[in-house]
Amino acid sequence: MLTKVYVKTRLLLESFTKDQRGVTAIEYAIIGVAISAIVLAVFSGDNGLKTALTTAIGNITAKIGEANNIK
């Protein structure tokens, strides 16, 4: 009785480890989480990159606004 349960469990685990369905989705999810963590780490603090990007976007916005006012 116990041997049958062991054998069935072992076969089930072996088939589970060999099953490749859904592996790609899991890999993409892991990569997405890693990239999100990196982006959050870069932009969460008040570091030079955040300040530089904010300044650059502000300058671009100002130049576009000036260009729209010139006729």
| Domain boundaries defined on the chain | 20-69
71 band by pLDDT with thresholds 50, 70 and 90: low
- 2: pLDDT confidence band, cut at 50, 70 and 90? confident
pLDDT digits (tens, 9 = 90+) for 30-65: 999 999 998 888 777 777 777 888 899 999 999 998
Exposure letters 30-63 (e unless 16+ CB within 10 A, then b) = eeeeeeeeeeeeeeeeeeeeeeeeeeeeeeeeee
pTM of the model: 0.45
